[in-house]
A = this chain, B = another copy of it.
Amino acid sequence: MSAPTERITIKDVAAAAGVSKGAVSLAFNHKPGVSEATRERIFAVARQLGWAPNSSARSLSRQAVDTIGLAICRPAKLLGLEPFYMEFISGIESVLAERDCSLLLRLVGSLEEEIQLQERWWRQRQIGGSIVVDLREADPRIEPLRGLKLPAVTVGHPSLTGGFPSVWTDDATAVGEAVRYLAALGHRRIARVGGPTDLGHSAIRADAFQSTMRELGLDGGQHMETDFSGEEGARATRSLLLSAHRPTAVLYDNDIMAVAGLGVATEMGIAVPDELSLLAWDDSQLCRLTHPTLSAMSHDVHTFGAKVAQALFQVIAGDDIASRPAATPRLVPRGSTAPPRPER
């Protein structure tokens, strides 16, 4: 393939229409100074040459937003493996498609890198607004992004978002429901395989787990921290199942770790659900493809992503919106949970 040729510029359009560059600019910015006939001729020529005002000029003049940003601070390798982000992005895209808008996506290695990136995206007018995910406690991104006056929607509990509007799921309530369900089945030794506790939502879930266990008078349930990958989910499950007082039920923080847990149980000859109950989180298609199927705290991640995008467009339009809860994950019992076998 040959190297790309020069693109059509405003100069070419002006020359072809027999007008000045200023006249082309006036016509496209809908400003006075060119006659109706000239404006029509300029538009016809531009269409013919396939020229349009460049995007930054356009967004300045018409305030049209054709791009929003999303930076994700997770290792590239890991991102490919968890269904959550792809479903979340597919939900965002379903709203963007209606508005003829694209997503500028970037994986960053640190929050500092994300701050610089968001600043550059915004100052250079590459985006009309941004989605900020994986909030930490006292998140270092909040202050700099507020300083930029970047239109943004955060994903996380309102206690974490420093005044930015957010869309969030009530994870504490959902964890409480999950633990109470397992306890109601008769489980006393319940363990949890969670995500990294430096993430705000992981910390909230971990706290809710411990406090619900205490409330129910169950001894401090074992809690394993992972990076959300199936491999670490498998390792954590193996370690729990080898412990002296092995749990009879395990609550996972996503679905791929629960699938991994089921694989480990099968490999160790521990019957699910007869000898071990497994409860997943997020509930992608995966949970319905295994045998037994996986009970889950089900969460429509696609719709969640769509809600976030809708909220961002309101913020971009200048609306002063409140943080809004997405649907709370709800229990979908399937084949992987049952009462524990009586101890002999």
Pick from B51, B66, B109: contact of A97, CB under 8 Å: B109
The reply to whether B263 and A291 contact each other, CB–CB distance below 8 Å, is: yes
**Cα of A34 to Cα of B287 in the assembled complex, Å:** 65
The reply to whether A81 and B76 contact each other, CB–CB distance below 8 Å, is: no
Contacts of A88 in B (CB 8 A): 80
A329 within 8 A of B: no
Q: A119-B50, A149-B4 are in contact. Are A285 and B83 (CB under 8 A)?
A: no
| Total count of chain A residues near the partner, CB < 8 A | 84
Q: A81-B87, A89-B80, A284-B80 are in contact. Are A50 and B289 (CB under 8 A)?
A: no
Q: Which residue of B lies closest to A120 (CB)?
A: B52
Q: How many copies does the complex hold?
A: 2
Q: A55-B126, A302-B77 are in contact. Are A163 and B94 (CB under 8 A)?
A: no
Which residues of A95-148 have CB atoms within 8 Å of chain B's CB atoms? 96-97, 102-109, 117, 119-126
The reply to whether A86 and B76 contact each other, CB–CB distance below 8 Å, is: no
A36 within 8 A of B: no
The reply to whether B164 and A124 contact each other, CB–CB distance below 8 Å, is: no
Stretch of A178-186, A191-199, A210-218, A227-235 lying at the B interface: A227-235
Given contacts A1-B165, A5-B149, A80-B301, 13 further A-B contacts (CB under 8 A): A1-B320, A7-B122, A52-B123, A79-B86, A81-B284, A85-B86, A93-B106, A96-B107, A102-B106, A259-B259, A260-B289, A263-B291, A266-B291
